[in-house]
Amino acid sequence: MLEVSQIECVRGSRRLFSDLSFRLEAHQALRVRGENGSGKTSLLRIVAGLSPAESGSVSWNNGHIRALGEDYVRNLLFLGHSNGLKDDLSAVENLRYALALAGVGADEPALRAALVQQGLSAIADLPVKLLSHGQKRRVALARLSFSAQKPLWILDEPFIALDTASVETLARTITTQLQRGGMVMFTTHQEVALPGTAMRTLELGAH
Amino acid sequence: MKGLLIVGCRAVVARDLLIALRHRSDVLTTFFFFVIVVSLFPLGVGPEPDTLREIAPGVVWVAALLAAMLSLARMFGTDYADGTLEQLVLTPQPLVVLVMAKVAAHWLTTGLPLVLIAPVLGLQFDLPAGSLATLLLSLLIGTPVLSLIGAVGAALTLGVRGGAALTALLVLPLYVPVLIFGAGAVVATATGTGSAGHLSLLGAMLMISLVFAPWATAVALRISME
């Protein structure tokens, strides 16, 4: 269970949000919504433990995430604003190294299967720098196929640059994760439906 | 758990080496910078063998420092820009160990080529065989220290405008002891006093920086990510 209590975020001299609290439990999704610059990415980075909050705390199963350290990170899948892909490496290579670092074992056929599922089989061996925006995003999203055992997914604008079919695939992946007992926290500007799941919306900049 | 760590480290090293292989120009730039800077001195100073022998250790070592400097921006810079650094910080393995893997990959692609070519460059300065061997050995012990200390500077200046110049200002003073004992070892061999003392001190510096530099780099990386 993820519990965020009374966090405040200040960037420069601007207070983006304060006194923000919410809980996220198994099977729940939280969609963070707000204008550009309202602090969505900052909130996600705070929850992931990448940056500290000005005040307040983020806890995972009643332990402070700073104190838990790697024991928290083990439960977490974070997909940031940038895709985390190396331009000179192919999609398969990028996926292989990302998974090795995340501590997930996957063999070559499994890697290729995940890319096929993203509709990327034809370009799996091309350097990522030759791919389009949406294709790069899908290479990054292929990590989701291997993250079933990670209970908390934090996705920053996962739907951006995706075509309609990919948006549906991703929505299905998220739904499956929720049904499995996972938690998903994500930001998006577009309307997405996750039928049959408990999705709440958090408005930033509204209070 | 331990197995995971080894897999993670191997992935970091393998990825960085593969990128260096695909992007050979980065590695070759550092290498040829070193070769050209060292080769300019005999041309500028003149062909007097005694002078050349005397300045050789200092010239090679200063060129090695500058070449190491030149490659530091790449150590974390591209990872920071493309988001892979975020993923590195958010792995279940201790960041300190992964940092060591990154430094090892950096040394293999920038430090080791300098070590291997240095004896050949030493011939231009008419260095005797004994001095060449000491030069090789001192660089072999000293260049990993350059990568380790440089990593701290590179991590601290991530995302800062004019980071490269700032890294130089931060790191070059810290390189001074390595320069003194590295060049000193070669001079000591030439004068016949023996280089064991200098090399031992270089070894001690390597040990100390192996313990402290990755830890400081990991802390600096976390601060830069905020």
pLDDT tens digits for range B13-51:
999 999 999 989 989 999 999 999 999 999 998 889 899
Contact B87 A78 (CB under 8 A): yes
- Residue A76 has its nearest CB partner, among B12, B90, B225, at B90
pLDDT confidence of residue A206: 57
Q: Give CA–CA dist B214/B109, Å, rounded.
A: 18
Q: Radius of gyration (Cα) for chain B, nearest Å?
A: 18
Contacts of A102 in chain B (CB under 8 A): 87, 91-92
pLDDT confidence of residue B120: 94
Contacts of A101 in chain B (CB under 8 A): 8, 11-12, 87-88, 91, 93, 98
Contacts of B88 in chain A (CB under 8 A): 101
Cβ(A8)–Cβ(A15) below 8 Å: yes
Q: Give CA–CA dist A7/A28, Å, rounded.
A: 20
Q: What mean pLDDT comes out for the span B59-80?
A: 93
Other beta carbons less than 10 A from residue A162's beta carbon: 21
Residues of chain A with pLDDT under 50: 207
pLDDT confidence of residue B2: 67
Distance from the Cα of A147 to chain B's closest Cα (Å) equals 13
Contacts of A95 in chain B (CB under 8 A): none
In three-state secondary structure terms, B193 is coil
Contact A81 B83 (CB under 8 A): yes
In three-state secondary structure terms, A153 is strand
Distance from the Cα of B144 to chain A's closest Cα (Å) equals 24
Q: Give CA–CA dist B146/B206, Å, rounded.
A: 9
pLDDT confidence of residue B17: 95
Contact A101 B14 (CB under 8 A): no
For the stretch B173-207, pLDDT in tens is 999 999 999 999 999 998 888 899 999 999 999 99
pLDDT confidence of residue B183: 95
Q: Report ipTM (2 d.p.).
A: 0.87
Interface probe for B, chosen from A42, A79, A101, A129 (most Cβ of B below 10 Å), is: A101
Q: Give CA–CA dist A81/A60, Å, rounded.
A: 23
pLDDT confidence of residue B188: 93
- Residue A82 has its nearest CB partner, among B18, B83, B89, at B83
What is the chain B residue with the closest CA to A43?
Answer: B226
Contact B8 A101 (CB under 8 A): yes
The CA-based dihedral angle spanning residues A185, A98, A51, B161, taken in that order and rounded to the nearest 10 degrees: -130
Q: Give CA–CA dist A169/A159, Å, rounded.
A: 10
Q: Give CA–CA dist A38/A17, Å, rounded.
A: 8
> What does each C-alpha distance from B131 to A186, A202, B87 come to in angstroms?
62, 69, 45
Q: Radius of gyration (Cα) for chain A, nearest Å?
A: 17
Contact A97 B225 (CB under 8 A): no
Residue B80 tokens, joined? 């920071």
Cβ(A23)–Cβ(A2) below 8 Å: yes
Q: Give CA–CA dist A173/A166, Å, rounded.
A: 10
Contacts of B10 in chain A (CB under 8 A): 100
Q: Give CA–CA dist B81/A134, Å, rounded.
A: 18
Distance from the Cα of A88 to chain B's closest Cα (Å) equals 6
Count helices and strands in chain A by DSSP H and E runs = 7, 9
Distance from the Cα of B184 to chain A's closest Cα (Å) equals 41
Distance from the Cα of B113 to chain A's closest Cα (Å) equals 22
Contact A86 B7 (CB under 8 A): no
pLDDT confidence of residue B211: 95
For the stretch B89-146, pLDDT in tens is 998 888 999 999 999 999 999 999 999 999 999 999 999 999 999 999 999 999 999 9
Interface probe for A, chosen from B2, B87, B99, B158 (most Cβ of A below 10 Å), is: B87
- Residue A51 has its nearest CB partner, among B82, B98, B226, at B226
